[in-house]
Every structure is written in C-alpha cells, then in structure tokens.
Structure 1
Amino acid sequence: MAEYDDGDTAFFNASNDSSQGHQDFRQFSKLFLPCMYVVVFVCGLVGNSLVLVIYIFYQKLKSLTDVFLMNLPLADLVFVCTLPFWAYAGIHEWVFGSIMCKVLLGIYTLNFYTSMLILTCITMDRFIAVVRATKAYNQQAKRMAWGKAICLSIWMVCLLVSLPQIIYGNVLYHNRLVCGYHNNATLPMVLATQMTLGFFLPLLAMIVCYSVIIKTLLQARGFQKHKSLKIIFLVVAVFLLTQTPFNLVKLIRSTNWEYHSMTSFYYAITVTEAIAYLRACLNPVLYAFVGLKFRKNFWKLVKDIGCLSYLDVSRQQKSSEDMSRTASAFHNAEATSMFQL
C-alpha cells in the first residue's frame, strides 16, 4: 500500500511540480512498488513459513524466546500475504470492493505493528537473559506464562490501533479506483500512535537494552561474546537502515512543510516504504537462522523431506574418491620408501 495513497489531494493539486512529473511518478510507482511487493511476498512467505514449520514440528515452544519467535513469523506471514492485493491495485486499480479494502487495511496495519512490538519483546527478553541470567533461569516457567499473556496483549493492542483503518478505509476515485481513507482529520492522531508503537518504542528499547547487553558482554570472559556483539550490531543496523528513512518521511508528510507536495518527495516515500517492508524478509534470518539449534532443526527438516538424498549420494561418491586417492598416495609413498632403502 503506497503511503501517498494515490488519493492524496495534495499530490494531485500540488503546483510545485509539473503535471509531466506527476505522470512520470505514477509510471514509476506502477512498476517499482508492485515489483517490490512481489519480492517481499515471495521471500517473506518462504522464510517465515519455514520458521513456523520448524518451530511447530521440530523445535517446540520450550522457552520465552521461542514464544516470541513463533509470533514474529506469524505476524510477518499475514503481513506479506496482503501484498499481492496491493501489487495488483498498484498496476491496475482497486477491484476487490469496499469490505475487502477495510479488511486488508486493518490486517496490513495489525500485522505490521504487531511484528514491531514483538521485536521489542525479543529485545527485552534478550536483555533479561544476558543481564539477569540467573534470575531468568530460575523463573523460566513464570516468564513463559507472562510471555504468552504479553503476546496476546500485543495482538489486542494492535487490533485497536488498526480500527481507524477499518472504520475510515474505503474505495475512492482519483483518476482510478484506489483503497484509501475518506476522513483525513483522523490521520495525524493515527500516524502518531502507529509511529510510537511501530518505530519509537522499538528503537528506544533497542538503544537501552542493547547498550546494557553490550556492556555486560564486554565485561564477561569467553569467546562467544564477540559473536554475540556482531549479531547485536547486525540487528540494530538492519532495524535502523530499514525503518528510519520511512518513518522520517512520514513525519515530514504529517507537517505543513511546503516541500511535502513535491513529486520528488513522493519518490522518497515510495522507495523508503519498499525498504521498510524488507524487514519481513530479514526477520527470519536475523532472529532464527543465527541460532545453532534452529540450523540443526532446519537440516532435519531438509533431510525428512528428502532433499538430502542427492547430497548423500554426492558425499558417498566424494568419500570413495577421497579413499581411493588416499590409498593410491599410500602405495606411492610405500614404493618410494622401498626404492630409497
């Protein structure tokens, strides 16, 4: 869903740029956004489905981290499933009706911000696990119960936050049928709430918690701390690189800044929006595949579905070749030794 909504009257009535610039932007958005939606949909669908399958059938929910990591791909999965509708609407127009418009706007908002709050919970869980490791281990059962309650609360809060999209979402006509909002008076308040939940709260949690985690790891002894620091920096860097540009342009758009109606600004909105959605593809890698236990369960899954049969044959052939080479080298060495004697 493009944040300029294709129904933004400021965009169509703006006099800062030429009408030719507006037409060029429409052509760009019709090509760029649907392509990005498809890429995020395919990668996010495969990655998050794989994480869910492994957690359901192999890894189980044995810790609080597993509970959060189970809800994270679930939220991302439902989020990416809405993207094909927006891709089609971006190329053509909205043909799915008013009810579907409201439902998809609500689902889009619900799952996008649910995943961001779950990331916040993962950050706080890692803080407790590292900084207060003994206390976290002794209260593991209690933390599991609290974790499930927190996940349920997150889904309920995000459902309330998405209600304005469901209520005010409708099919509008601006040169073509689009799915957008017919009551712009509520948008500033909704935007402020969503940005608080979807960006500023996770960002604050990451800054505070990971700062203490880094300090604790640096004071600890052991080889693994360097690997942990790399993962932490990677998580923070990906979050900042994907989410900060999009939220900055949304903040500018909510003001009365004179340049917000320029065509170049809408290029910025479109590109940063696409970058922000890459988070749904990267989450499975950052929060699941970096774990040793998860990688072991992944290879178990690959073996169970029969994908390793070809690899096993190749390994056997390679092993036999290596053994024959070793035997040949041994005989050559033995012959050389006899010749020298």
Structure 2
Amino acid sequence: MAELDDIDNWLFDNSSDSSQEHEHFLQFSKVFLPCMYLVVFAFGLVGNSLVLVIYFFYQKMKSLTDLLLMNLPLADLVFVCTLPFWAYAGTHEWVFGTVMCKTLRGIYTVNFYTSMLTLTCITVDRFTAVVLATKAFNQQAKRMMWGKVLCFIIWVVSLLVSLPQIIYGNVMYLDKLICIYHNGAISTAVLATQMTLGFFMPLLTMVVCYSGIIMTLLHARGFQKHKSLKIILLVVAMFLLTQTPFNLAKLIQSTNWEYHAMTSFKYVILVTEAIAYLRACLNPVLYAFVGLKFQKNFWKFVKDVGCIPYLGVSSQWKSSEENSKTCSASHNAEATSMFQL
C-alpha cells in the first residue's frame, strides 16, 4: 500500500474530464476520505492502545512472537495518529506548515513500512514455531535476543526508505494549500519500493509460510487444529481483501499516465486507499485478541478497571490452560496451539 498517494497532486488536474465531473469528485473526496480517516483513527487508536497497555502491564515479553506483536500495534498506533491531520487537510487545506508536512509524511511512511515488515516477520516467526518447533524451542533465548535486533533493523530500514517523503515533501498552492510529495526522477523507484515492501513481500511470505504451516497442522493431532486453520485463512483473507485492490489500482495507474486524469479512476484510488487503511484497525484483533494468553490478560485488565464483573473467567482460563498443556504433549500438538500466544 502506498502512503497518502499524491491524490491532491492530480486532484486538481481535470484536463481530461468535464468541470462538473471534477467538481463532483472534489466534493466526494472532501467528505469520504476524511470520514474514513477518522473512523480508522478512532478504532485504531482504541484497539492498538489497548493491546500495548496489556503487553506493557500484563504480559511479559517471553518470546520473539511477543516482541513482534508489541512492535506491530506500536507502528499502527503512530500510523493512525497522523490521520486526523490528513482528514482536516482533506476537508479544508494544509495549515500546519512545511516542517509539519515533512514530519507527518515521514512519520506516516515510516510506520507504514514498519507495520508491513513486522507483519512479514510475524509470519516467518509462526512458520518457525510450528514447522521447526524443536529448533525454535531449543534456541528460544537466542531468538529473543535477535528479535530485539530485528525490531531495530525494521525501524531503521523503514526510516531509510521513507527519506524521499521527508526530503521532497512540501506545501504547495493548487487552488488551496496542500502537503504533497512529488519528484518525477525517483517516483518510479519509490513506487517499486512501496509495492515490494508494502504488498508483494508480505504476500509472498504469507503464501510460502502459511502453506508450510497448514501442511504441518493437517498432519498434527489436537483440538486446536481446525481453529488454527480458520485463523490462518482469516489472516490471509484480511490482507488480500484490504491490500490487493489498492495495490492493483496503483499498478494499473503506473502503466499509463492517462489514468491520472480519469475521474472514474480517481474514485477507484480513493475508495481502495480507504479500504487499505482498515488494516490498522484489524491488526489488533487478528494478531493479539485471537491468542488465549492475551485474552486472559485482557480479562484481567477489564477486572482491574472495573468495567464488568469477572464472571468466573479465572476458572475458564484455567481449564483452557490445562487443555493446552495436554495438547502440548508432543511437538505436533505444540504446533496446533500456535495461536495460544
């Protein structure tokens, strides 16, 4: 997924469309995209903040999976915190100055790449934990140490590939003040990087790793097998449904400059971009709340803040943990409980 593709850069170029069609698109964009930004911001803020609170105060970092699952909501949280600025700019104009333009574009882009690279690492980690269970167990301490290095590398790489957005981000006046990124000399390289790190690499990793995981689970025994398979399919489906439309639209747009001036294609870019942003809301659910350990700590948090009665959750989780221990009697059984994080 590209970040805040320079919709505003060609938003006002209506050379191939009637002024009436262009005006209708302007009105639609002023309402639709800011509303979607605010929806993603609200749900993403609550969901990712809740995940981070539970990981910081209730869940000890005992494995590489825990470390990566904390890095993901952190990246998504910073990502969604930039959206209110773009929502205001989409409705009115950019009033935050050049420094904020460069800063917010940089923050937005860094956390987009961090989120997608972390997602890729989580997929590889799950493959290792299930398919190479014995090796992963024996090297758990070493994997934890390298996990911290890996998280640092992810943020550094994300910063490096985001430099064009920071360097060439600027405020321009095109009927109104807008914060845009535009540099024709390196735009192709930037798009290629976005498509590679933001879509094709995570997708290819999911296909390869989850195929291996599914084959392992199909040969394993345990009550968690069918649940794990459903979750895997849900993870892949979520990624495909939210990321494929926008990346496909960007790929098509890059093949012919005429698409930049087509009002109908501007609608496609706008809507698919908004759909792609939904990942920041769905990630907390798919990568944290499905874990039994996380769910247990979530109910502890709910009890501590006094929202609802505990409702006998302790005994429920005790039973789940006993079943989990029974299921973990062999390495194959351990594989089936991969989502009991």
Q: TM-score by structure 2 length?
A: 0.88
Shift of 1:182: 4.0
CA distance in 2, matches of 1:166, 1:257: 25
CA distance in 1, matches of 2:5, 2:22: 16
Question: Match for residue 210 of structure 1?
Answer: 210
Residues 96-115 of structure 1 mapped to structure 2, 5 A cutoff = 96-115=96-115
Question: Match for residue 6 of structure 1?
Answer: 8
Shift of 1:183: 2.3
Instruction: Report if the CA contact (8 A) 1:2-1:270 is conserved.
Output: no
Shift of 1:187: 1.4
CA distance in 2, matches of 1:215, 1:107: 39
Instruction: Report if the CA contact (8 A) 1:123-1:206 is conserved.
Output: yes
Does the alignment pair 1:86 with 2:82?
no
Shift of 1:13: 3.8
Give the counterpart letter for 1:116 in structure 2. Answer: M
Higher helix share: 1
| Compared CA separation, residues 2 and 154, structure 1 to 2 (3 A) | closer
Instruction: Report if the CA contact (8 A) 2:14-2:22 is conserved.
Output: no
Secondary structure of 1:7's partner?
helix
Question: Match for residue 18 of structure 2?
Answer: 18
Instruction: Report if the CA contact (8 A) 2:14-2:261 is conserved.
Output: yes
**Higher Cα Rg: structure 1 or 2?**
1
Secondary structure of 2:185's partner?
helix
Shift of 1:265: 0.4
Question: Match for residue 142 of structure 1?
Answer: 142
Residues 109-258 of structure 1 mapped to structure 2, 5 A cutoff = 109-256=109-256, 258=258
Secondary structure of 1:6's partner?
helix
CA distance in 2, matches of 1:184, 1:20: 29
Instruction: Report if the CA contact (8 A) 1:102-1:170 is conserved.
Output: yes
CA distance in 1, matches of 2:272, 2:292: 33
Question: Match for residue 38 of structure 1?
Answer: 38
Shift of 1:223: 2.2
Q: Percent of counterpart pairs with the same letter?
A: 76
Instruction: Report if the CA contact (8 A) 1:7-1:173 is conserved.
Output: no
| Compared CA separation, residues 13 and 40, structure 1 to 2 (3 A) | closer
Question: Match for residue 332 of structure 1?
Answer: none
RMSD: 1.3
Question: Match for residue 47 of structure 1?
Answer: 47
Question: Match for residue 263 of structure 1?
Answer: 263
Instruction: Report if the CA contact (8 A) 1:243-1:276 is conserved.
Output: yes
Shift of 1:14: 4.2
CA distance in 2, matches of 1:203, 1:211: 12
CA distance in 2, matches of 1:54, 1:177: 41
Residues 272-287 of structure 1 mapped to structure 2, 5 A cutoff = 272-287=272-287
**Aligned residue pairs, count:** 309
Does the alignment pair 1:293 with 2:293?
yes
CA distance in 1, matches of 2:281, 2:163: 26
Give the counterpart letter for 1:3 in structure 2. Answer: D
Instruction: Report if the CA contact (8 A) 1:44-1:80 is conserved.
Output: yes
CA distance in 2, matches of 1:22, 1:256: 20
Question: Match for residue 71 of structure 2?
Answer: 71
Shift of 1:306: 1.4
Question: Match for residue 308 of structure 1?
Answer: 308
Shift of 1:184: 2.7
Instruction: Report if the CA contact (8 A) 1:252-1:260 is conserved.
Output: no
Instruction: Report if the CA contact (8 A) 2:79-2:107 is conserved.
Output: yes
Give the counterpart letter for 1:6 in structure 2. Answer: D
Instruction: Report if the CA contact (8 A) 1:5-1:178 is conserved.
Output: no
CA distance in 2, matches of 1:82, 1:13: 26
Q: TM-score by structure 1 length?
A: 0.88
Give the counterpart letter for 1:235 in structure 2. Answer: V
Unaligned stretches of 5+ residues in structure 2: 312-341
CA distance in 2, matches of 1:28, 1:185: 31
Deviations along 1:152-208, one digit per CA (max 9) or x if unpaired, are 001000000110000000001111000002423221111111211111110010000
Shift of 1:4: 4.0
Shift of 1:2: 4.4
| Compared CA separation, residues 298 and 237, structure 1 to 2 (3 A) | same
CA distance in 1, matches of 2:33, 2:12: 19
| Compared CA separation, residues 286 and 135, structure 1 to 2 (3 A) | same
Give the counterpart letter for 1:242 in structure 2. Answer: T
Instruction: Report if the CA contact (8 A) 1:5-1:179 is conserved.
Output: no
Of residues 42-51 and 189-198 in structure 1, the stretch that sits farther from structure 2 once superposed is: 189-198
Give the counterpart letter for 1:211 in structure 2. Answer: S
